[in-house]
Chain A
Amino acid sequence: MSQPREHWGTRAGFILAAVGSMIGLGDIWRFPYEAYAHGGGAFLIPYLVALLTAGIPLLIMEFSLGHRSRGSAPAAFRSLHRAATPIGWWQVAVCFVIAIYYAVIIAWAVRYLGFSISLQWGGDPETFLFDEFLNVAETPGGISETNTGVMWPLIGVWVITLAILALGVRRGIEAANKIFVPTLIVLFSILVVRALFLEGAWTGLEALFRPDWSAILRADVWLAAYVQVFFSLSVGFGIMITYASYLRRRADMTGSALVAAFSNSAFEILAGIGVFAALGFIAVSSGVPVRYAADQGIGLTFVAFPKIISTLPAGAHLFGAAFFVSLVLAGLTSLISIVQVVVAAVQDRTDMRRVPAVLTVGGVIATVSVLLFPTDQGLYYLDVMDHFINQYGVAAASLASIVVVAWLLRRLSTLRDHANLTSALRVGRAWTILLAVVTPVVLGWLSVESVITELTEPYGGYPAGFVAALGWGVAGTALALGVLVSLVPWRERETAFIDYRREG
């Protein structure tokens, strides 16, 4: 017997969950540097154009697809056409891969939260991170040592994530996001205010916001803006399709998409101000230009910020705690949404109840994560898998979904009508054109650029075999799994779109 579909308790709960998914580690460690490296203040223009012409339209499409089909990603694509099902399973496989390494970064942040109490990284946070904490092997390939310092917090992260998911959409995901997202915004705001009062803060902000108008004429700047928008809005993962499938019938999809997207962008601006105010402080303290202090990713969060925290004149422990708790919260809300994509797909496919589905699916993901990443090879695995699954998983699946929906199945007008049926702000023909033309062109361009770069310059200077196995291998396996799982025969039932106007 099929399980009744769960629902969000409130519209605010759904929006907070969507915002929680969007506000991830990338908002803090990626956006500020991308803006700084691509024209500073001038980056705002391509970013805003990308948000309005591709990010929000794609978000509305995913909301509409999920809401109309009331199913997970594979179910949603299957409801368009049976041949489109592999795209949904491809997104599920991509989420599986991302979940196994994303949790590890949260586990590092948990450990650094502890380290910040005694400033345990000492005077050289870089050596501490790579040699003492992660104990990274000299060369990639072949696990030789397990790192219990990462393993235990990682197990903790998985227990919390799966416990929240097991509680269900309303009592678990929604309730957690109602606590985590406001807490994250308040904590990060406190951090930003503190950073603004540091000596050199305005030097950092000048570096971030001083516009280089010539950058607007550069193609790579526009590509960077679109890439940032795609990745930070959680589109192309199946997350927004899954979350929208739990909406009640009277749901404002366009309005929710606008609120969620602007909330994410507003947080990114906040993060940019906080990060560069702090980087300005460390640059001025060290007597170097901001460009020597500016960094992104792991280098920013686990090397530059510990340096900043150690150098603070007062309140170092509180600043450190606020920063790493913010990271943990931003990561957890995103991780929950990523795992939920897999759980929902398995539930829809097997009709399994939530708790067994969470324990089975989550158990497998958590086991792989705990076996592979708290090791001396963990950082290498993470780096290569993250690069390839994003470039050839998320971006490629997005491109495939838009080409199939807009060009092969020509169902954009159906989705537009559905979005307009219950939404406050209606979308028109422009929305269809943006999705059918702008989005595939940009994603296609991104994919071609990535492949050319990959072929001319092997990623990260890693051995070819290592990149082939963990990069191309994992990304290719995700695609192959998507196709294979969709080939398993389904017990046929009605899978057509639900036309709210004809029902009743």
Chain B
Amino acid sequence: MSIGGVTMLVISILVMWGGLAVTVVVLARHRERREMPVTGPGRESRPGAGPDVRRHAAPPRWRD
């Protein structure tokens, strides 16, 4: 197999499978960070430091 062929084979695998792996790791870390208890003076420890959209729960508004 030519050097060009081998290089592109390796690059293809690295870009696609590597891209997938990096994205999964970044998202997992972000999720961990988001779910870490937030503590501090005057603050209660609570699960989830991100925007708490669950309390805004409302029934679906679209449907005829």
Residues of A that sit less than 8 Å from B by CB = 2, 4-5, 40-42, 44, 48, 69-71, 75, 78-79, 202, 205-206, 209-211, 249-250, 252, 255, 258-259, 262-263, 265-266, 268-269, 272-273, 348-349, 351, 421-422, 424-425, 490-496, 498, 500, 503-504
Contact = CB atoms under 8 A, between A and B. Distances in A.
A494 B64 CA distance: 8
A421 to B, nearest CB: 7
B27 A2 contact: no
B15 A44 contact: yes
User: Which 10 residue pairs spanning A and B have beta carbons closest together?
Assistant: A41-B8, A424-B30, A262-B20, A504-B56, A503-B56, A266-B16, A210-B5, A490-B64, A255-B27, A209-B5
Interface string B19-56: 11001101100110010000000000000001101111
B31 to A, nearest CB: 7
Interface residues of B, number: 37
Contacts of A255: 23, 26-27, 30
Given A211-B4, A259-B20, A493 B64 contact: yes
Contacts of A78: 62
Contacts of A69: 62
B9 A41 contact: yes
Contacts, number: 128
Contacts of B60: 2, 4-5, 70-71
B8 A422 contact: no
A2 B54 CA distance: 21
A422 B64 contact: no
Contacts of B7: 41
A2 B23 CA distance: 38
Judged by DSSP, the binding face of B is helix
A214 to B, nearest CB: 13
Nearest to A42: B8
A429 B15 CA distance: 25
Nearest to B54: A249
A257 to B, nearest CB: 10
Contacts of B24: 259
Nearest to A207: B5
A504 B51 CA distance: 13
A44 B64 CA distance: 46
Contacts of A265: 16, 19-20
A250 B50 contact: yes
B8 A504 contact: no
Given A210-B2, A266-B16, A424-B31, A498 B8 contact: no
Nearest to A493: B64
A28 B32 CA distance: 35
Contacts of A40: 5, 8
B1 A206 contact: yes
A269 B63 contact: no
Given A75-B62, A490-B64, A41 B27 contact: no
A41 B5 contact: yes
Contact of A498 (B1, B4, B51, B61): B61
A205 B12 CA distance: 12
